[in-house]
């Protein structure tokens, strides 16, 4: 009780003294096991994200929690205090549009260890017999993988990039080429510990507090802060055969992708794809896999100068089955209709495959090309309209400049639990189209942030006018009407859950979904 009062007192002081330098000794009064910081570096970090598009007014303070109890105390103080302030969890800050920021509130920095701090959140705990792992909400997926591999186990569903937090991806969906088979990461959770917007720490699952469980999964941080997730594991494959094949015909490409996701995992374990529109080397930060000594020119494969589509598939295996993998892959490839002689194959450790994007990150960082604005647009496009999207966007609006990888791969809706907060198109199969663009200040108009941002608007307008009912993934809207439209028939339930679990609208205000009520 005394600790709670001290925390409330200190937060109120923060609010009253906003703009003034806080006496560091005051932090000692806070009584949390972690650290409540007003260090300018912490505050600056918490007002930025990967998108580098939005710089919100800075938060008042940043909490580096040592435990779920620290977070519960903070939120309770926000909920009960007469002043009121917002609280946003920040995972690894890999949002695009300020979703983990909060102006004039407190950011809870879930990922990353605070230098020199005392107690830390718990490490992943693997339960090998039960085949699951308990992880802190701010844990990065790369560390979940490393801990599980010590027991020869691994989670089943991934994102392409592993330096994302468990709480951050579970607040969206968490998708990659395994989602067609295992569903998104939100379909692969046994249990959560969540601190609600009232400061209550609750355990939830299918059986216990099930409404909270489903609301939080894909819930954009609106109902609570995930402090622990129990993730199911499977025996980890040892190696991966990674294959890319090219198409110039879009319908052959999507036919093969849809065929592959209709099959079970005895086929391929991962199905993705991307668009190659820029002339020249088909290398970008997501496709370094093609040998630079063997550049593939689009014009050499498609004399009409059109665009190419690359299907990306993998087959996992163990050393014990290494002798049959060549034959297996050859038989599977026989069923596909790609351009002959465009098979690119590589073979690597499972962990290296899963961690592939990090290698690209390091390269881009070394060239100063990672910390640049990222006007990304991620859309779920219904299968029935994907050909219209190809004509209007890939072959139309984009021209032959993509300014970054453009991913396209289908998923099965039945692998998504409809009781979660995540929103998908109303068809059995839908595609992720991810325009992962980087804006550069290099004098070229088509690389500029303004150009790419306008192009994103043009794409959304085109979809609207062409009757392509896309749903944004990692959605970004600023008006109430747009959000209601996004959630469609889930809106009433979503609102009801908000009123139940965060009635003062304290949490995740950076999503711009609900106005704080104080
Ligand atoms: P943040 O950006 O810090 O937070 C995102 C939202 O979740 C915020 O609203 C925040 O308040 C809330 N939040 C964060 N932690 C918690 C918590 N513990 N409890 C409750 N709410 C919380 N996504 C995919 O699905 N597949 C991919 O392959 C993929 N690849 C990516 C590659 C890169 C290079 C980048 C930058 C992003 C990628 N993403 C991908 C998107 C990623 O899933 C989102 O950025 C997501 O938000 C996770 O990032 P984060 O952990 O940094 O969360």
**Share of residues in the chain with pLDDT > 70 (%):** 87
- For a ligand 1 pocket test, name from 168, 359, 379 the mutation site with the most ligand atoms within 8 angstroms of its C-beta: 168
Separation between Cα atoms, residue 169 and residue 287, nearest integer Å: 23
* Active-site residue set: 94, 160, 272
Average of pLDDT values for 141-154? 98
Within this chain, do residues 248 and 354 fall inside the same structural domain, yes or no? Answer: yes
Residue 470 and residue 379 in contact, taking contact as beta carbons nearer than 8 Å: yes
| pLDDT band of 14, cuts 50, 70, 90 | low
Within this chain, do residues 256 and 365 fall inside the same structural domain, yes or no? Answer: yes
Residue 94: give its domain's CATH number.
3.30.43.10
Angle among Cα 268, 269, 272 to the nearest 5 degrees reads: 85
Q: Does residue 281 carry a pLDDT above 50?
A: no
Residue 448: give its domain's CATH number.
3.40.462.10
Within this chain, do residues 293 and 351 fall inside the same structural domain, yes or no? Answer: yes
Within this chain, do residues 349 and 391 fall inside the same structural domain, yes or no? Answer: no
In a domain, 491, yes or no: no
In a domain, 493, yes or no: no
Residue whose CA is closest, atom 17 of ligand 1?
Answer: 167
Within this chain, do residues 305 and 325 fall inside the same structural domain, yes or no? Answer: yes
Ligand 1 centroid – CA 482 distance (Å): 21
**Ligand 1 atom, smallest distance to 49 CA:** 2
Separation between Cα atoms, residue 156 and residue 209, nearest integer Å: 25
pLDDT of residue 369: 93
> ipTM above 0.85?
yes
Within this chain, do residues 98 and 12 fall inside the same structural domain, yes or no? Answer: yes
Where does a domain end: 65, 100, 118?
A: 118
Residue whose CA is closest, atom 33 of ligand 1?
Answer: 161
Q: Is 244's C-beta closer than 6 angstroms to any atom of ligand 1?
A: no
- The pTM of the full predicted model, rounded to 2 decimals, is 0.94
Query: pLDDT tens across 367-417, in order?
Result: 999 999 999 999 999 999 999 999 999 999 998 788 999 999 999 999 999
The residue among 4, 56, 14, 51 whose CA lies nearest residue 36 is: 14
Average of pLDDT values for 265-286? 74
**Ligand 1 atom, smallest distance to 91 CA:** 3
In a domain, 506, yes or no: no
pLDDT of residue 306: 79
Residue 145 and residue 155 in contact, taking contact as beta carbons nearer than 8 Å: yes
Q: Does residue 456 carry a pLDDT above 50?
A: yes
Q: Is 91's C-beta closer than 6 angstroms to any atom of ligand 1?
A: yes
Within this chain, do residues 418 and 376 fall inside the same structural domain, yes or no? Answer: yes
In a domain, 89, yes or no: yes
* Residue with the larger pLDDT of the pair 19 and 388: 388
Pick the range with the lowest mean pLDDT from 222-226, 292-296, 308-312, 337-341: 292-296
Within this chain, do residues 246 and 363 fall inside the same structural domain, yes or no? Answer: yes
In a domain, 347, yes or no: yes
Within this chain, do residues 129 and 183 fall inside the same structural domain, yes or no? Answer: yes
Task: Name the domain count of the chain.
Answer: 4
Where does a domain end: 176, 210, 235?
A: 235
Separation between Cα atoms, residue 472 and residue 486, nearest integer Å: 8
pLDDT of residue 300: 66
Residue 345, H or E segment: strand 344-349
DSSP summary character for residue 508? -
pLDDT of residue 111: 96
In a domain, 75, yes or no: yes
pLDDT of residue 299: 59
Residue whose CA is closest, atom 53 of ligand 1?
Answer: 168
Positive or negative CA dihedral for 381, 382, 388, 391?
Answer: positive
Within this chain, do residues 255 and 343 fall inside the same structural domain, yes or no? Answer: yes
Within this chain, do residues 327 and 398 fall inside the same structural domain, yes or no? Answer: no
**Maximum C-alpha span of the chain:** 75
Within this chain, do residues 71 and 176 fall inside the same structural domain, yes or no? Answer: no
Residue whose CA is closest, atom 48 of ligand 1?
Answer: 168
Backbone φ, ψ for residue 272 (5° rounding):
-135, -170
CA dihedral 94, 95, 96, 99 (to 10 degrees): -150
Separation between Cα atoms, residue 99 and residue 104, nearest integer Å: 15
Ligand 1 centroid – CA 345 distance (Å): 31
Residue 185: give its domain's CATH number.
3.30.465.10
Other CB atoms within 10 A of residue 181 CB: 21
pLDDT of residue 399: 87
Where does a domain end: 369, 385, 405?
A: 369
Pick the range with the lowest mean pLDDT from 16-30, 309-323, 376-390, 488-502: 16-30
Q: Residue 341's domain spans which residues? A: 238-369
In a domain, 487, yes or no: no
Ligand 1 centroid – CA 172 distance (Å): 7
Residue whose CA is closest, atom 10 of ligand 1?
Answer: 100
DSSP summary character for residue 187? G
Q: Is 161's C-beta closer than 6 angstroms to any atom of ligand 1?
A: yes
In a domain, 49, yes or no: yes
pLDDT of residue 297: 58
pLDDT of residue 518: 82
């Amino acid at each position: 009780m005394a600790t709670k009062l001290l925390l409330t007192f200190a937060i109120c002081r923060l609010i009253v003294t906003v703009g003034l330098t806080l006496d560091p000794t005051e932090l000692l009064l806070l009584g949390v096991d972690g650290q409540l910081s007003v260090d300018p570096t912490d505050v600056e970090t918490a007002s930025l994200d990967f998108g580098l598009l939005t710089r919100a007014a800075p938060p008042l303070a940043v909490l580096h929690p040592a435990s779920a109890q620290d977070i519960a105390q903070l939120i309770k103080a926000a909920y009960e205090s007469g002043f009121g302030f917002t609280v946003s969890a920040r995972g690894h800050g890999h949002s695009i549009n300020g979703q983990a920021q909060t102006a004039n509130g407190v950011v809870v920095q879930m990922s990353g260890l605070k230098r020199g701090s005392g107690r830390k959140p718990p490490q992943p705990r693997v339960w090998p017999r039960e085949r699951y792992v308990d992880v802190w909400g701010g844990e990065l997926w790369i560390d979940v993988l490393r801990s599980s591999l010590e027991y020869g186990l691994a989670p089943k569903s991934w994102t392409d990039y592993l330096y994302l937090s468990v709480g951050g991806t579970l607040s969206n969906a968490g998708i990659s080429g395994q989602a067609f088979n295992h569903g998104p990461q939100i379909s692969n959770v046994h249990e959560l510990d969540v601190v609600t917007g009232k400061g209550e720490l609750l355990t939830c699952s299918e059986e216990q507090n099930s409404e909270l469980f489903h609301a939080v999964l894909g819930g954009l941080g609106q109902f609570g802060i995930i402090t622990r997730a129990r993730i199911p594991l499977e025996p980890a494959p040892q190696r991966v055969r990674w294959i890319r094949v090219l198409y110039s015909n879009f319908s052959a490409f999507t036919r093969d992708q849809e065929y592959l996701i209709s099959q079970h995992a005895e086929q391929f374990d991962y199905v993705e794809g991307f668009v190659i529109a820029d002339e020249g080397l088909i290398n970008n930060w997501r496709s370094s896999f093609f040998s630079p000594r063997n550049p593939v020119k689009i014009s050499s494969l498609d004399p009409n100068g059109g665009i190419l589509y690359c299907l990306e598939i993998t087959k996992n295996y163990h050393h014990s089955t290494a002798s049959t993998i060549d034959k297996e892959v050859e038989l599977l490839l026989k069923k596909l209709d790609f351009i002959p002689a465009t098979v690119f194959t590589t073979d690597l450790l499972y962990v290296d495959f899963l961690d592939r994007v990090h290698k690209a990150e390091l390269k881009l960082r070394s060239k100063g090309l990672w910390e640049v604005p990222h006007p990304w647009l991620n859309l779920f496009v219904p299968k029935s309209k994907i050909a219209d999207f190809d004509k209007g966007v890939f072959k139309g609006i984009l021209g032959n400049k993509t300014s970054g990888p453009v991913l396209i791969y289908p998923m099965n809706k039945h692998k998504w639990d409809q009781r979660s907060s995540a929103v998908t198109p109303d068809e059995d199969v839908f595609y992720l189209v991810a325009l992962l663009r980087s804006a550069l200040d290099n004098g070229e108009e088509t690389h500029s942030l303004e150009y790419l941002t306008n192009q994103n608007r043009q794409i959304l307008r085109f979809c609207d006018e062409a009757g392509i009912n896309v749903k944004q993934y990692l959605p970004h809207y600023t008006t109430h009407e747009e959000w209601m439209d996004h959630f469609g028939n889930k809106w009433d339930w979503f609102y009801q859950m908000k009123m139940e679990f965060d009635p003062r609208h304290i949490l995740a205000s950076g999503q711009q979904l609900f106005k704080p009520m104080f």
